[in-house]
Structure 1
Amino acid sequence: MTDKVVVTGIGVLAPNGRSTEDFWAATLAGTSGIGEIERFDTARYASRLAGLIRDFDAEEHIPKRLLPQTDVSTRYALAAAASALEDAGVDPAGFPEFDMGVMTSNATGGFEFTHREFNKLWSQGPSKVSVYESFAWFYAVNTGQISIRHGMRGPGSVVVSEQAGGLDAVGNARRAVRLGTPLVVCGGLDSAFDPWGWASHLSGGRVSTTADPARAYTPFDVHADGYVPGEGGAILIAENADAARARGCAVYGEIAGYAATFDPAPGRGRPPGLRRAAELAIADAGLRPADVGAVFADAAGLRAEDATEAAVVREVFGPGAVPVTVPKALTGRLFAGGGPLDLAAAFLALRDRVLPATAHTTTVPRSYGIDLVLGEPRPCDFDVALVLARGKGGFNSAVVVRRAEAGDTPR
């Protein structure tokens, strides 16, 4: 059996689209999901913008019995997983339960749920705290709830590496499929937008204080001053290519390469690990940098970090040698959901032969030496893309994706 791992289904919940195709259409049209936070009073905060999912009715997506025991991030994960399975044409009841695994990432846990229950504890006493608090707050709950709902008892895991975590979950899923599990549900979603969650976002000093939604998150721009946080993400269905062919299902493409590195401690005089992650992922795919047709950048939105990433792209590929795009400029940084959403965009770009533009950015410093796609989507004809992600604390991850090949049924 081949060790090639393909993606057969994608489920997206993003600030600018509550389905995969809606998200993609909005991304190509430059439709932003960034706006004022309306869930609580933000008047006293220095920043008031976020990429939020609006008009999401959880009862349309998950059983009512699950509502009292789930945080909003878990509801998003359950909805995205169900959408991805439907997209892949997978009925879990038709699979042996140990042939299906779940591997997700979560950076913030069930923030809104647990803070609501803490408030009950402080104001009403322990008897009023929900028994579901015992697990609804936990980083692993999305993996657990997806597994339980769909009867998946194969390999399961959760990765906590902030913005890099979603790519790590997909990389782990690829490894599990290559080791013999035919199908793994993987990806990541996050949400932390109650008052306590918002305070946590702002505490790091990296969130933009610009009030204009069109100028608050301008990655690689000369005036970049921080990022806008967002919520949501994507779930992907990773399958063994032979098993997918046997089912007769269409594929988006291949998870061709993966690597993760960690930055050295500050003051050690060693370079950050992002370049090595990119080079290792390309090598893992059996490719050379010249084979990569586009880079979906991490795009921190902070000048020093943008300059570091630009240097990595310039050094690996050559000055201006590969187009770079940042779809997340329309959604904000989604933490564990950001990498999987970029993977979804990369597969859709390969499918439709078009690269989305990087919204809001207008002036890229010449010293960066990168070809950032600006203004309008760019028609392209490439077979391979590289997706990069960095997590707070030194995490770096890279995934190489490849267009569906001969023998696969393309989307």
Structure 2
Amino acid sequence: MSAATVVTGIGVLAPNGIGAEEFWAATLRAESGIGRITRFEPASYPSRLAGEVTGFSARDHIPSRLVPQTDRTTQFALTGSEWALRDSGLSADSLPADERGVVTASASGGFEFGQRELGHLWGKDPRHVSAYMSFAWFYAVNSGQISIRHDLRGPTGVLVTDQAGGLDAVAQARRRIRKGTPVMLSGGMDASLCPYGLAAQISAGMLSESDDPARAYRPFDPAADGHVPGEGGAILTLEDGERARARGARSHGEISGYAATFDPRPGSGRPANLDRAIRGALADAGLTPRDIAFVLADGAGEPEPDRAEARALTDVFGPRGVPVTVPKSMTGRLYAGAVPLDLVTALFALRDGVVPPTVHVDGPDPAYDIDLVTGSAGPSAETRALVLARGRGGFNSAMVVRRPSAA
């Protein structure tokens, strides 16, 4: 049997909390971080709400020399990685550098940095474009900067599969640990709440145009009309379970199973494959549907994707067969950062024996036949949860997490 992969460190930056425990406390209070965009004037845009990370100053968390070199998404990633390593109890000399690696996910790269430098190019001339533009906009920049900052010379990579990328990156880190790398940093951060980034997101046609933060993002609701974008995410320290126990590390939980599938071309007449990803993750974990305490759903907030996800859940678990929740209704969809944050939510929920709620939804569309958790957090005595993610373009990912055995 392959060695277990455990989470020993967590770093979180979210619209409803900076820091893991602050985020978790806000989640249990059903506290939303969604509001009108404040980082620029959004009046001319059809969508004007977002989940912004407030109260964050990069100079408080990363070396000042890095601030002009990096986009906001990388500043988040560097901060989250620092916190994840600190939480794990690992130091710079804990392992040789080539036995520590990093793999992250990104959906947009450094949009805000790119917007600013393109403005310099067209509004001034090429001499005013930062030399750091050569990498600060790039999808892989977070992995690269984390690797440099913490001297991680082991396996390094980036996954670009939209919202599913956060799970895919953690799964890739798990593979590297199973192949012998003792420690991996993984997860995802995104931060594209700038005029350029918002315009790109609006062009996809999936954002809500409501101006009411309590009605704009309503997963599985009969009146769902799109989602709200957000920024932030989570970085995790992953380790080989036996090594973590030997050094006396605290485990937040175990990555027990994973699978990914790809949907057929739209209009092909063939069904979506999310149900296959769910079954694959359960099989990888050696579990049956009855072993899952609750599901953190993708929760697109659009009728057709919500219908497809509900169908997959009822196909695997039966009608109303498992509690389902979408805590990201408090933060907006953070793209590559969303599902690492969901993993943190699942681990803390299993630790504390609760199921965090879906907010802004009175009840799911009855046609979906799912047991959606709304209102306040509900109790749970079980030890395993399922996290789902779907990315634009047909990506499906599913991951099973388990509460620490000693808990």
Q: Does 1:319 align with 2:334?
A: no
Match of 1:10 in 2: 10
Aligned to 2:183: 183
Partners of 1:52 and 1:93 in 2: how far apart? 36
Distance 1:41 1:252 in 2: 40
Correspondences of 1:25-64 after superposition (within 5 Å): 25-64=25-64
Distance 1:21 1:43 in 2: 34
Task: Please say which of residues 37-46 and 186-195 is displaced more in the overlay.
Answer: 37-46
Answer whether contact 2:5 2:174 (CA < 8 A) is retained.
yes
Counterparts of 1:373-384 in structure 2 under 5 Å?
A: 373-384=373-384
Q: Secondary structure at the match of 1:192?
A: coil
2:194 equivalent to 1:194:
yes
Q: Which amino acid aligns with 2:208?
A: S
Match of 1:208 in 2: 208
Please give the secondary structure, in 1, of the residue aligned with 2:42: coil
> Take 2:33 and 2:365, find their aligned partners in 1: how far apart are those partners?
26
- Contact in 2 for aligned 1:2/1:240 (Cα 8 Å): no
* Contact 1:2–1:242 (CA under 8 A) maintained in structure 2: no
Query: Residues of 1 paired with 2:303 and 2:243: CA distance?
Result: 45
Give the drift of 1:46: 1.2
Q: Deviations over 1:133-190 (max 9, x none)?
A: 0000100000000000001000000000000000000000010000000010000000
Partner Cα distance (1:314, 1:280) in 2:
16
Tell me the C-alpha RMSD between the 2 structures: 1.0
> Equivalents in 2 of 1:194, 1:227: separation in Å?
17
Gaps of 5+ in 1: none
Quote the offset at 1:271 in angstroms.
1.0
Question: Structure 1 CA distance, aligned partners of 2:392 and 2:199?
Answer: 17
Superposed displacement of residue 41, structure 1: 1.5
Provide the rounded CA distance (Å) in 1 between the counterparts of 2:365 and 2:39.
37
For the 8 Å contact 1:2–1:241, the answer to whether it is kept is no
Which residue in the other structure is 1:110 paired with? 110
Q: Does 1:88 align with 2:88?
A: yes
The match for 1:275 is 275
Q: Secondary structure at the match of 1:197?
A: helix
Instruction: Name the counterpart of 2:397.
Output: 397
Structure 1 contact 325–358 (Cα < 8 Å) conserved: yes
Matches of 1:277 and 1:189, distance apart in 2 = 23
For 2:383 and 2:12, locate their aligned partners in 1 and report how far apart those are by CA, in whole Å. Answer: 23
* 1:153-172 alignment runs, 5 A limit: 153-172=153-172
Deviations 1:213-248 (A, max 9, x none): 001001011111110000000011110001101110
The percent of aligned pairs where both chains have the same amino acid is 57
SS of 2:93 mapped into structure 1: helix
- Whole-Å separation in 2 of the counterparts to 1:39 and 1:331: 16
Tell me what 1:355 maps to: 355
CA contact (8 A) 1:4 1:240 kept: yes
Q: Which residue of 2 aligns with 1:303?
A: 303
Aligned partners of 1:15, 1:320: CA distance in 2, in Å? Answer: 30
1:332 alignment counterpart: 332
* Kept in 1: contact 2:101–2:155 (CA 8 A): yes
Q: Give 5+ residue unaligned stretches, structure 2.
A: none
Any conservation in 1 of the 2:363–2:372 contact (CA below 8 Å)? no
Task: Give, as a single letter, the amino acid of the residue that structure 1 aligns with 2:91.
Answer: D
- Contact preservation (8 Å) 2:190, 2:231: yes
User: Helix, strand or coil for the counterpart of 1:287?
Assistant: coil
| Cα distance, 1:377 vs structure 2 | 0.6
| Partner SS for 2:119 | helix
CA drift at 1:267: 2.1
C-alpha separation in 1, matches of 2:391 and 2:122:
33
Alignment match, 2:235: 235
What do residues 360-395 of structure 1 show as CA deviations (whole Å, max 9, x unaligned)?
101312221111111111011111100000000111
CA contact (8 A) 2:289 2:317 kept: yes
Counterpart CA distance in 2 for 1:211 and 1:16 is 19
| Contact 1:101/1:184 (8 A) holds in 2 | yes
* Distance apart, 1:2 and its partner CA: 5.5
Query: What aligned pairs does 1:285-300 form with structure 2 within 5 A after superposition?
Result: 285-300=285-300
Residues 267-301 of structure 1, C-alpha deviations (whole Å, 9 max, x = no match)? 22211121111110110111111111110000000
Report if the CA contact (8 A) 1:234-1:337 is conserved.
Answer: yes
Q: Does 1:150 align with 2:150?
A: yes
Q: How many residues align?
A: 407
Q: Which amino acid aligns with 2:382?
A: F
Q: Distance in 2 between matches of 1:113 and 1:368?
A: 41
Q: Distance in 2 between matches of 1:241 and 1:87?
A: 16
Query: Does the residue aligned with 2:81 lie in a helix, a strand or coil?
Result: helix
Q: Secondary structure at the match of 2:401?
A: strand
Secondary structure of 1:138's aligned partner: coil
What residue identity is the alignment partner of 1:291?
D
Q: Is the 8 A contact 1:101 1:156 kept in 2?
A: yes
Name the CA distance, whole Å, in 1 between partners of 2:197 and 2:207.
Answer: 13
SS of structure 2 residue aligned to 1:243 = helix
* 1:88-118 CA distance string (max 9 Å, x none): 1111222210111100001001000011011
Q: What amino acid maps onto 1:403 in structure 2?
A: R
